[in-house]
Amino acid sequence: MSYRFVTTSVVLWVDTLARTIKNKNGKHEGYVVVTQDVTERQIAAESMRRAKHAAEAANRAAHNI
């Protein structure tokens, strides 16, 4: 699951994966949580989306002349 944290000066994207830990009898013992900073990946993906939209708009404009 991805989350976005926004403060007055920073936007941070993280992916989090959580799993329960059970003992051999199936009783809940705790959790394992892994969180990874994916801010650079999100920024790159947004940049690619903007470039794609710009290229599509330029292509439409070229064909409408």
pTM, entire model: 0.61
Structural tokens at position 31:
């959790």
Phi then psi dihedrals of residue 18, to 5 deg: -130, 140
Using the 8-state DSSP alphabet, how is residue 8 labeled?
A: S
**Both tokens of residue 44?**
């790159």
Residue 28 dihedral angles phi and psi, to the nearest 5°:
-65, 130
DSSP structure class, residue 16: E
Q: What are the structure tokens assigned to 59, written together?
A: 């292509």
CB atoms < 10 A from the CB of 53, how many? 10
pLDDT in tens, 7-35: 888 889 999 999 999 999 999 999 999 99
Give the percent of the chain with pLDDT over 70: 98
